[in-house]
């Protein structure tokens, strides 16, 4: 699974870990995140992330 990095703050979304604080279960692919999901650190939308 590919990880994604926020271009504003460097926060990493790792699909293998998910994001518990956002109720995103481990194993959730990037494409399966809700469109309204935002960076938990700075609030940037999904379109502000790049694959790494």
Dump pLDDT digits (tens) for 14-36: 999 999 988 999 999 999 999 99
Backbone angles phi, psi at 31, to 5 degrees: -65, -25
Structure tokens at 8: 């504003």
Q: Dig out the tokens for 22 from the structure.
A: 């956002």
Q: Taking all residues of the chain, what is their mean pLDDT, rounded to a whole number?
A: 95
Beta-sheet strands, E only, within the chain? 4-6, 12-13, 49-51
- CA–CA separation, 16 vs 45, rounded Å? 20
Strand order in the sheet with 12-13: 12-13, 4-6, 49-51
Q: pTM for the complete prediction?
A: 0.90
Which pLDDT belongs to residue 1? 81
Domains and CATH numbers, the chain: 4-51 (2.20.28.10)
């Amino acid at each position: 699974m590919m990880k994604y990095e926020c271009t504003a703050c460097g926060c990493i979304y790792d699909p293998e870990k998910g994001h518990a604080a956002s109720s995103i279960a481990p194993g959730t692919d990037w494409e399966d995140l809700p469109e309204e999901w935002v960076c938990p650190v700075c609030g940037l939308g999904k379109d502000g992330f790049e694959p790494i």
